[in-house]
Structure 1
């Protein structure tokens, strides 16, 4: 065996030391370095941040090695999900079931508290003023928390971009969601609604009533709407995309907590392989649709009024500006594909959950169903709703806002500090998750009053700003420059669907319905939404 002493003593030269021995020594040092880095990430850094935040008065849970509070999250969720909420339901206090960890932690630690997503420190602010400041970047720029890039599996579009890239995408997308463009989409909205209601009316038949689970029906409706409004005559191909997107969302939720394991998304698990396969299939379908549309534009065909056509038109303008020597530039085909995927997921999911909860709450509160129907028939009779009339709907708008308050599609918004920042007199280092619990803010009695958990659309009678003690406490679509670009699209579609349904059908909660809201990326009725329909 060649030893260091032999080398130093001149008995042999360094050149004669076997390369395998040097390689093993280098590998050992590399492994030791990686182990030190891993220990720093999983223990020293979390403990240092915990001590620093506690010294500044931030209360919360203590760090547990690697898993943080994930075990407690899972335990509380299992206990809460095992017990559906009782019916008949007049009180909509759903936080103990939907977000039991957040509900308990806020009661124990106050409106600002520390918890742990694995080794990642997370500070939750149950304060609309802080939420608005964070979302409007008052304290400085906040990044989206990436979950090992898991959200990009669904779409690497506008919602996941930062800085200049976000600004460029938003600028190109904005024209597609202009009011005048949305008006042209109303025929597609009404055509999809008419197909659904006609099918329901056939099922009601002469029997007088028909029980249906409206949750998959609303998913199908909004999937058809986004397919037609995004791709026009190619909407049948689009339906395959939203089916794949729905499966992708379910698979993302199955592994979101496992992303605390370093490199988990690179492991060849069955779920990871299937998610990659789904992504490839969606990309392939969209690439084919976009290539056909691009070819048609090159051959001189006019731009269509669907979202893809408007996006490509806006994109071409930006590219022409770049050719004229201006600094602007357009999107690549890959970026257009990702934005189309975002159209699908956000456009279908947000509106489908809003319509589902609206139909359920109107079934639970028939007095508001009657008031909405009276307003709708007074404005439109049995005719198809038109844009100006939809804008004059006051009671329907109040109902939709109250549904969004009690059952917000996104239960929380999450950001991350990218550098040291001060919020509320506390200094937070880089890499701290900032959680804004929309559900808890919307359910805070100090903001909304002692009737906070009651379904009272009249609280919005004078608009959003006067509905609560804090004019900015209503956050279903976010706030600030990154507020949801599709909120007008979603509300317009929801108004159209609700008007056409209530013009011809009466809603009643089915005996088989179980009230079990659960957050699966969005807030869903996990056991379905069974409603009895009666023809008027």
Structure 2
């Protein structure tokens, strides 16, 4: 009996010791977890303090010591609240006349900063300072050094509407540009002229059919037709498919672009992404859906290419062909810089968005301006009829249209699709006499500069294509760097010739068959939806030429 009691006591003591060891292990584990969590929280907190306060204040001090001025930095939001308030107020006020002075409507806060602090100023986009650069010499330096002034570290939302080559840097950018350049050179564009004609002719026939049922005259908002045209051109010329095949992709990209435009300027407002999480999930969902659609198109084209089928006159086929040739020429070398399936998908998505949005903007504003300035419409028509008569426009003839080229250049000056450029400093840089520290973004207000009276003269805000009669280099004060609707330097838009050729074909056919005047119902309300678009369309009175 005594032995059993002793054994029970021993077992109880062992259980107590085991329990104690477990408790000690749990306490030790809890302590370790607490320490690790504390370290993570402290590190995260330190990073947040650096990002939201210490770095902005350091950058502010460096900029102010050089005589640059701005509003005092406000924790986290910077100038965003005031910027959005002024932007909404400017948009809510109707433009009482058909003024081409768009800066007060689109860049109210930037003008406010420039008027208050002068040209040597900067503004706060959240915790990031944006140095406003307006000097032609400084702009030239920024745009000619793409490796030092990059597109990295800009708003994360832009990756959804500017994929592909636009967001690439370094050697990968150089390799992609070389491959895409082979697919977009003038010889390849020449083969697409027939596709351009077919798409434009389809639109013109629809207009003729509409006029035939309304005694040769009717009012119409041309924006939907012009948008369908540019979508059809991209679908056929870029992918060899019809507009109907690509309609789902365009509808998705349009929805995505509108969501991105809604949240782009507010992205850095505290907790904005959490409050509007549903929209951000939809943006990502559309991205996956579009990628699947484009992947299907690419696989069909690659299969045809491997089967030895001839490349049709479309950009995707040429892009794949160029990439395959590049792989063959470098088979014995490292091919890491060549284009993967994901790379090709991103470039296709960029063609879809960039090619359509940029060209539709140019066509819409050209239609509005030619409707208002009918003397220039008449001059352009006379030139088209002199070069082509009533025959089908061809590649060589389109390149001889001097007046049309002048008109398109002036439209792009007054209504550039992209109204500003932004770059980030990858390291401390000397820009003229200014030391630009790493972490500062460069802001180039394209629209403001392209309407600057000091550069373009007293008629800078007026429509006058004659200023381009001797080309871009002699327009204004002769410094072509102040004219950059497609960018400038090494990163100039690789698709600008595609856009201009499409626009010349479209207006050659329109001018051969119609004359048009601006409708009294037209409401002048330029709006920035990723590209500059007319908010309420372009209403014109369309007439059939006798």
Q: TM-score, normalised by structure 2?
A: 0.92
Match of 2:507 among 473, 498, 509: 498
Helix, strand or coil at the partner of 2:523: coil
Match of 2:114 among 106, 111, 123: 106
Q: Does 1:483 align with 2:492?
A: yes
Instruction: Map residues 85-234 of structure 1 onto 2, 5 A cutoff.
Output: 85-87=95-97, 89=98, 91-137=99-145, 141-205=148-212, 206-233=214-241
Please report how far the alpha carbon of residue 246 of structure 1 lies from its aligned counterpart in structure 2 after TM superposition: 1.5
Helix, strand or coil at the partner of 1:123: strand
Change (3 A) 1:216 1:234: closer
Who is 2:341 aligned against?
Answer: 333
Q: Does 1:62 align with 2:67?
A: no
Helix, strand or coil at the partner of 2:267: helix
Please report how far the alpha carbon of residue 33 of structure 1 lies from its aligned counterpart in structure 2 after TM superposition: 2.4
Is there any run of 5+ residues in structure 2 with no aligned partner, and where? 1-22
Match of 2:435 among 427, 430, 437: 427
Helix, strand or coil at the partner of 2:132: strand
Q: Which moved more, 1:413-422 or 1:109-118?
A: 109-118
Q: Does 1:31 align with 2:41?
A: yes
Please report how far the alpha carbon of residue 18 of structure 1 lies from its aligned counterpart in structure 2 after TM superposition: 3.4
Helix, strand or coil at the partner of 1:323: coil
Match of 1:256 among 255, 264, 269: 264
* Whole-Å separation in 1 of the counterparts to 2:270 and 2:76: 10
Contact 2:155/2:264 (8 A) holds in 1: no
Q: Deviations over 1:350-404 (max 9, x none)?
A: 1110010000011111111111111111111121211111111111111100000
Who is 1:529 aligned against?
Answer: 538
Larger radius of gyration: 2
Q: TM-score, normalised by structure 1?
A: 0.93
Helix, strand or coil at the partner of 1:59: coil
* Whole-Å separation in 2 of the counterparts to 1:238 and 1:21: 58
Contact 1:447/1:468 (8 A) holds in 2: yes
Who is 2:13 aligned against?
Answer: none
Aligned pair count?
A: 521
Q: Does 1:292 align with 2:281?
A: no
Helix, strand or coil at the partner of 1:74: helix
Helix, strand or coil at the partner of 1:379: helix
Please report how far the alpha carbon of residue 242 of structure 1 lies from its aligned counterpart in structure 2 after TM superposition: 1.9
Q: Deviations over 1:336-355 (max 9, x none)?
A: 00000011111111111001
Change (3 A) 1:509 1:146: farther
Q: Deviations over 1:435-470 (max 9, x none)?
A: 111111101111100111111100001111111114
Instruction: Map residues 247-396 of structure 1 onto 2, 5 A cutoff.
Output: 247-260=255-268, 269-325=277-333, 330-396=338-404
Is there any run of 5+ residues in structure 1 with no aligned partner, and where? 1-12
Q: Deviations over 1:189-221 (max 9, x none)?
A: 111111111111111224232222222221111
Helix, strand or coil at the partner of 1:485: coil
